[in-house]
Amino acid sequence: KDHKPKLYILDYGAGNVRSLANSIKKLGYEFEWVQDESDFDKAEKLIFPGVGAFAQAMTSLQSSGRYEQLQRYIKSGKPYFGICIGMQVLFENSEESPSTKGLGVVPFPIRKFSTQDSKGKKTVPHMGWNCAWRSYAQQQEGEEEKLMLDEDYYFVHSYAALLDESSPSTSKSSISEYAYTLSRYGSETFVSSLKKDNVFACQFHPEKSGPAGLDLLRRWLEASPASLSKSTAPSPTSSSSSDRIWQESNPDSRRNVGKGLTNRIVACLDVRSNDAGDLVVTKGDQYDVREKADGGEVRNLGKPVELARRYYLEGADEIAFLNITSFRSSALLDQPMLDVVRKSAETVFVPLTIGGGIKDTTDPDGTKRSALEVAGAYFRSGADKVSIGSEAVLAVEALLDRESRGEEPLSGTTGIETISQGYGNQAVVVSIDPKRVYVDTSKPNWREDEKLKKHLDCLVYGDKAISKTADEEKGLVWWYQCTISGGRDVRDIDVVQLAKGVERLGAGEILLNSVDRDGSGKGFDLDLISLVKNAVSIPVVSSSGAGSADDFVEVFQKTETEAALAAGIFHRKEVAIDDVKLTLEKEGLPVRRCEL
């Protein structure tokens, strides 16, 4: 009775599979990694946590001989659980790589999200917490059999099984036999999970979806192979009845089904060694982290792993660690920092970002380490994304320089490029530390100033020639200058140039700080955020200056930002994460609420 089916995980070496391993261990289950063909015979259940790109996944399955082995395993009727790319490989093909064939278990294509929506520009990748509508098949299940409940799950992907009623082969009814849940991003509807006989797969990451994701994994792990392999209830075929069934599936859900992507709240931990050499969470004002009195010690607001755990339990949608003095040493020798990520990933089941020192480095013994290697060490420790700061500024300067000389702008060698190629662009965040530079408008013809002209891009806001709330008459006009090394050095490049440049290099997200607002509690710099948000199509996390829950309402109502980050108010327990979410919810702004 107590026999636990032998569980195997298929890993092809891309990205963070440690989180899945941690989730399974946390749920009290053992597993083995698939090492050779015989493991497919021994496996009584199999999970394939695909990450990265479709073509890369398929090519690696083919070159290792796993393609046929996996196909045979699925045909054998034993339970299969695919995650993200592990779901997409089941499909016919993907727009991501039209010449690469999928496993063809689901006769349906994978396509790219549109970057335009009825509201205008739409951010791709679809990154964050979104809900799933239960399908007809799911409604036929008893409470015990259900794999998913009405919760939000964490998604990060640019391609999906998109429904398109204009073609019979991509309509809702053509997929209703397979679809377990549907989700919506903007005006597009896609299959967020599927279940057909022994195959279950989800587009989101259960191992990163907090208690809801752990619950899904637990239900699948607990279910007997026989019950998981039962043939699926027949689905309605007429599109009008399936429409009704999808939409009325959750009449009394408190989760406001159909609300779409939620506004993300990120807790940020700036980490550095204090004067005694211990790694502490610190917090500065305008990047100065030392106490003003008492001998000017580094402010100590707690221990990194403990604080990360606290924020997970309090409902943070993501956690970011910034190793703020990392540029002084080699990241790979920084074992305490790798240890912080490793230990945090054991108890934190939402996405973890790690920043600081992600660049090409040389160890004291002369060994060269590429940014890709450094990032790889963090991914293997449990990070989902790496954040690149100073190096991103230098990389964009070099890109603009090559472009101005008429050369190929993309060198293919920068950390942003190599890491996004190896692990997908969703894994690469660029952290920007801009500072306002005020312009002396008392000078006649200040707009003609040669140096300033270069930054006109930044000074242009919509149809105005200056920043939105800037007051030209009072001489309050500014642009945003980029800095490196934690705000210590300024560079001659503005924030819009940088944001556009890193998007071209392959960054998947921007973490937008403000040196002026950091630690001030004055609220987010809305001008800065709109400026950057309008310049790029990738998600922007707004950071610096949060002083109250209302500041979060303001940033989500007045800008198009996808996420808002705070540090000081959370560390000092001035505002709880759930209070921020409650306040947002009251204002009709969708958020993920979870009960632990």
Could you tell me which stretch among 16-24, 354-362, 445-453, 464-472 binds ligand 1PR (CB under 6 A)? 354-362
Q: Is 207 a catalytic residue?
A: yes
Query: Are residues 90 and 161 in contact, defined by beta-carbon separation less than 8 angstroms?
Result: no
Query: Are residues 267 and 566 in contact, defined by beta-carbon separation less than 8 angstroms?
Result: yes
- From CA 29, how far away is CA 20, in angstroms rounded? 11
Tell me which of 11, 152, 177, 270 is the catalytic residue: 270
State the Cα angle at 95 between 417 and 350, rounded to 5°.
60
Shortest CB 395 distance to ligand 1PR, Å: 11
Query: Are residues 126 and 155 in contact, defined by beta-carbon separation less than 8 angstroms?
Result: yes
- From CA 300, how far away is CA 334, in angstroms rounded? 20
* Of residues 113 and 379, the one with the C-beta less far from ligand 1PR: 379
Residue 155: closest CA among 191, 113, 205: 205
Write the interaction track for ligand 1PR spanning residues 209-248; mark x where CB under 6 A is met and - where it is not.
----------------------------------------
Residue 158 in contact with ligand 1PR, rule: CB under 6 A: no
* Of residues 75 and 328, the one with the C-beta less far from ligand 1PR: 328
Residues 6+ apart with CB under 8 A from 543: 266, 268, 511, 512, 513, 514, 524, 564, 565, 566
- From CA 113, how far away is CA 239, in angstroms rounded? 23
Radius of gyration of the chain (CA): 24
- From CA 365, how far away is CA 385, in angstroms rounded? 28
Q: In the numeric block, which tokens belong to residue 24?
A: 């399974």
Could you tell me which stretch among 98-106, 160-168, 284-292, 300-308 binds ligand 1PR (CB under 6 A)? 284-292
Q: Is 458 a catalytic residue?
A: no
Residue 415 in contact with ligand 1PR, rule: CB under 6 A: no
- Contacting ligand 1PR (CB under 6 A), which of 15, 82, 125, 355? 355
Q: Residue number with the shortest CB distance to ligand 1PR? A: 486
- From CA 141, how far away is CA 205, in angstroms rounded? 23
Size of the site for ligand 1PR (CB under 6 A): 32
- From CA 469, how far away is CA 345, in angstroms rounded? 42
Residue 481 in contact with ligand 1PR, rule: CB under 6 A: no
Could you tell me which stretch among 21-29, 99-107, 190-198, 564-572 binds ligand 1PR (CB under 6 A)? 564-572
- Contacting ligand 1PR (CB under 6 A), which of 74, 493, 526, 567? 567
* Of residues 34 and 388, the one with the C-beta less far from ligand 1PR: 388
**Does 84 belong to an annotated binding site?**
yes
Q: Is 433 a catalytic residue?
A: yes
Write the interaction track for ligand 1PR spanning residues 80-109; mark x where CB under 6 A is met and - where it is not.
------------------------------
* Residue 168 to residues 106, 107, 171, 173, 184, Cα–Cα distance (Å): 15, 12, 5, 8, 19
Q: Is 8 exposed, middle or buried (0-12, 13-18, 19+ CB in 10 A)?
A: buried
Shortest CB 363 distance to ligand 1PR, Å: 17
Q: Is 440 a catalytic residue?
A: no
Query: Are residues 262 and 154 in contact, defined by beta-carbon separation less than 8 angstroms?
Result: no
**Does 458 belong to an annotated binding site?**
no
Shortest CB 355 distance to ligand 1PR, Å: 4
* Of residues 441 and 520, the one with the C-beta less far from ligand 1PR: 520
Q: Could you write out the DSSP letters of every residue in 22-76?
A: HHHHHTT---EE--SHHHHHH-SEEEEEE-S-HHHHHHHHHHTTHHHHHHHHHHT
Residue 301 in contact with ligand 1PR, rule: CB under 6 A: no
Where do runs of H (alpha helix) occur along 206-270? 210-222, 225-228, 239-247
Shortest CB 277 distance to ligand 1PR, Å: 18
- From CA 299, how far away is CA 282, in angstroms rounded? 5
Residue 34: closest CA among 63, 7, 62: 7
Residue 324 in contact with ligand 1PR, rule: CB under 6 A: yes
- Contacting ligand 1PR (CB under 6 A), which of 91, 180, 185, 287? 287
- From CA 421, how far away is CA 260, in angstroms rounded? 29
Write the interaction track for ligand 1PR spanning residues 360-399; mark x where CB under 6 A is met and - where it is not.
---------------------------xxxxx--------
Interface of this chain with ligand 1PR, residues 419 to 438, rule: CB under 6 A: 431, 433
Q: Is 3 a catalytic residue?
A: no
Shortest CB 515 distance to ligand 1PR, Å: 8
Could you tell me which stretch among 153-161, 182-190, 281-289, 362-370 binds ligand 1PR (CB under 6 A)? 281-289
Query: Are residues 360 and 371 in contact, defined by beta-carbon separation less than 8 angstroms?
Result: yes
Tell me which of 84, 131, 268, 594 is the catalytic residue: 84
Could you tell me which stretch among 4-12, 76-84, 168-176, 324-332 binds ligand 1PR (CB under 6 A)? 324-332
Interface of this chain with ligand 1PR, residues 488 to 527, rule: CB under 6 A: 513, 518-519
Q: What letter does residue 578 receive in the DSSP assignment?
A: H
Query: Are residues 185 and 259 in contact, defined by beta-carbon separation less than 8 angstroms?
Result: no
| Helix, strand, coil percentages in the chain from 3-state DSSP, rounded to 5 | 35, 25, 40
Residue 356 in contact with ligand 1PR, rule: CB under 6 A: yes
Shortest CB 566 distance to ligand 1PR, Å: 4
Query: Are residues 569 and 549 in contact, defined by beta-carbon separation less than 8 angstroms?
Result: no
- Contacting ligand 1PR (CB under 6 A), which of 138, 198, 249, 544? 544
* Of residues 199 and 565, the one with the C-beta less far from ligand 1PR: 565
- Residue ranges for the binding site? 84, 357, 513
Residues designated as active site: 84, 205, 207, 270, 433
- What residue ranges bind ligand 1PR (CB under 6 A)? 268, 270, 283-284, 287, 289, 322, 324, 326-327, 355-358, 387-391, 431, 433, 486, 513, 518-519, 543-546, 566-568
- Residue ranges for the binding site for L-glutamine? 84
